[in-house]
Amino acid sequence: MSIKSRTLSIVAAGALGVAGAALPASPSLAALPTCNTASPTPNASAVPLWATFGPTWESSWDCLLRQGNTGDGVKWLQENLNRCYGAGLSVDSNFGPRTRSALVSAQRRAGTGADGVYGPNTRRALLWFAYFHPGCQHAGV
């Protein structure tokens, strides 16, 4: 390869690298943390006691739960699947095959991608039980 060809190749590769760096990165579910707790969600109700609770990571609503996860985030998801979707799960804080199956069913009913993974799209689509209020409602986040 001539020096001119090599120089052109290096310049072209550098230009592609700069152009690629200028593109916005699409949000990746793989980059989200695992939900490890639950927090009250803001809602559209004027009555603050009607807050729903949902899985969170620290104070962020953007988190994931999938088969194999354990902890309070899973516990709140199971509780919600029981109360709003009649899943009949043992609330054991373990995201096993039955929790995954119940989540897939709830995702289908909510009209979102039914992949058995809880993330931001599922959070927005599902109904959530509200304390001191009959029934389930969409969360405000």
The 10s digit of each residue's pLDDT in 97-125 is 999 999 999 999 999 999 999 988 998 89
Beta bridge partners of 60: 57
DSSP assignments along 83-133, one per residue: HHH-------SB--HHHHHHHHHHHHHHTS--SS-BSHHHHHHSEEEBTTS
Task: Read off the pTM.
Answer: 0.70
Contact 91, 75 (CB under 8 A): yes
Domain spans of the chain? Answer: 29-138
Residue 141's pLDDT band, with cuts at 50, 70 and 90, is low
Beta bridge partners of 55: 38
The 10s digit of each residue's pLDDT in 70-95 is 998 899 899 999 999 999 999 999 99
What's the CATH number for 29-138? 1.10.101.10
| Tokens 């609770």 found at | 53
Average pLDDT over residues 27-44: 68
